[in-house]
Amino acid sequence: MLNNLIKTGSTLLSNYEVLKLDGDIERVEDCLQGQVTSDINDLANENAQTSCLLDHKGFIQADFIIYRSKDVIYIIVESTLAEHLIDELDQVIKFYQVKITKTDEKVKGIVIKDGVDVEGSIYFKNNEFSLSIKLCPPNESIKESISFMEWKVFNKMLLNYVFVHTDINKYRPNELNYDKSRVSFTKGCYKGQEIIARVNYLGVNRREFVSGIISKDLEIDSRLKIHGEILEFSNKKIFSTHLKRDESETIVFESIDFIKYSNPS
């Protein structure tokens, strides 16, 4: 199914903004390490990682990509989240002598088939495909071999939920599979960490975050709660939802194919 709907290529991600963290690199690292869910110590130069900012109750405030190049750290964030993220970080970065500045860099998104030469920095993958990003100067022309709609579809197919402003305060990381791709459970404390650790180690996750695919001409089963956009592509509807784990074994949802998370090998 993936091979039928996903093709490799690149596109301009005009819905993302690039923020630069100005200051001594060690101070920048210390600042982020105490705020975001990923482990900044794992981020080498010319590499990227997905991450989140939470509130004290563990609810996601922003989802973003952190990119490091030549000992400068950038945050690549969906445009509707940029101001909220800046406001949240501004409360703490002043204590580290760090400043956030908006840049005019362009963001190139790239879909890569495993085993093919990598362009840019990979930040998300499954067992078949990877997503990478590359920052480009504002005057550089980006050759687009896939459409922005295809990019959005590919993210849903890979179970990489694209978080936007209307999602703020709705979800904890485990509800979107972010605990598998954006959260370190071995680093030190950060805002919301205690809640997330408790959910991970003591909670019982009775729901599974999945992507569903159905013919464009059919209605989605009303028992399924939809998260985010329903995308129409190649005569299909592609959407994000949750399945109760017992439902996935006992209830048949007619004509819907579900994609479930599997750890990259």
pLDDT tens digits, one per residue of 31-79: 999 999 999 999 999 999 999 999 999 999 999 999 999 999 999 999 9
Of 6-15, 20-29, 100-109, 205-214, which gets the smallest average pLDDT?
A: 205-214
Which single residue is written with the structure tokens 């089963």?
221
Question: Cα dihedral sign for 178, 184, 189, 193?
Answer: positive
pLDDT at 246 over 70: no
Q: Beta strands of 2-69 (E only): which ranges?
A: 9-12, 16-22, 47-54, 60-69
Residues 84, 89, 151, 163: what is their CA dihedral angle, to the nearest 10 degrees? Answer: -60
How does residue 261 score in pLDDT terms, banded at 50, 70 and 90? confident
Which secondary structure element, helix H or strand E, spans residue 193, and what is its range? Answer: helix 193-202
pLDDT at 252 over 90: no
- CA 58 to each of CA 50, 108, 126, 255: distance values in angstroms, whole numbers, following the listed order: 17, 31, 26, 36
Residue 121, classified by CB atoms within 10 Å of its CB into exposed (0-12), middle (13-18) or buried (19+), is buried
Of 23-27, 173-177, 199-203, 256-260, which gets the smallest average pLDDT?
A: 199-203
How high is the pLDDT of residue 247? 55
What distance lies between CA 98 and its chain's CA centroid?
Answer: 25
How high is the pLDDT of residue 255? 85
How does residue 262 score in pLDDT terms, banded at 50, 70 and 90? confident
